[in-house]
Amino acid sequence: MGDQASTDATSIEQLVQLLLTSKKQQLKQLCRTTIITKSAFADFILGSMGGLTPWNHRVRHREFVPEHLNITEEDKGAIVSNGVGRAGPRAQTFMNKIHAIFEERRLLSGHLFFTNDLSNWHLLYFDQRDISRHRNHWDGGSHIHLINHLWPNWTAQTIWDQFCSGNPQMAGAYHLRFRDERADI
């Protein structure tokens, strides 16, 4: 247990170092070498919420289901009219859609850390595919995305609005390795 506490403390220190970096090139380099643990991230969030860091914290969790997978009244009727037993073609189409929702939806989490004057802000965000250890789209494995005040075309408000509406597309965010210690057990 002592080793884990040491790892988390180091992870929090690395996260703080990332948030204090004032040059984008240095931030990029730090992102390549830093691993943030789930416990350290949670502790940092709690610290920010409790006023123990210079940053305030806002969080938003969202589910984004592609439009073509929205459940219609016709879909519901197909399963109801099918009754008990083997699924007919319309009911099977509905069940396939339900399965596809679990495969294609995005469960997004965004954490905005910001100082009172908004001069220093950071959005850390991810979906379930980003933090998955299996079939991860990034060669580095489990990760979270980081974008902050060093991106010239974003403000804390515009990035938060983008994250909170529609299916956010925030190109250019850096990848930050993420480790869920519970998954290592």
Residue length, the chain?
185
> CA-to-CA distance for 59 and 171, rounded, in angstroms?
20
Same domain flag for 45 and 59 = yes
> CA-to-CA distance for 54 and 34, rounded, in angstroms?
21
Question: What stretch of H or E contains 118?
Answer: none
Q: Is the pLDDT of residue 2 over 60?
A: no
Residue-level pLDDT at 7: 58
What's the structural domain count of the chain? Answer: 2
Same domain flag for 58 and 18 = yes
| Residue 162 near residue 170 (C-beta atoms within 8 A) | yes
Q: How many CA atoms lie within 13 A of 52 on its CB side?
A: 10
The pTM of the full predicted model, rounded to 2 decimals, is 0.83
Residue-level pLDDT at 8: 59
Same domain flag for 23 and 87 = no
Q: Is the pLDDT of residue 69 over 80?
A: yes
Same domain flag for 80 and 121 = no
Same domain flag for 136 and 78 = no
> CA-to-CA distance for 167 and 114, rounded, in angstroms?
23
Average pLDDT over residues 92-110: 91
Same domain flag for 79 and 162 = no
Q: Residue 16 pairs with which residues in a beta bridge?
A: none
Residue-level pLDDT at 64: 84
* Domain span holding position 81: 67-102
Q: Is the pLDDT of residue 10 over 90?
A: no
Q: Is the pLDDT of residue 182 over 70?
A: no
Residue-level pLDDT at 104: 86
Same domain flag for 134 and 57 = yes
Residue-level pLDDT at 66: 87
The one-character DSSP state at 180 is -
Mean pLDDT of the chain: 89
Same domain flag for 85 and 174 = no
Q: Pick the last residue of a domain from 102, 124, 150.
A: 102
Same domain flag for 168 and 118 = yes
Same domain flag for 6 and 89 = no
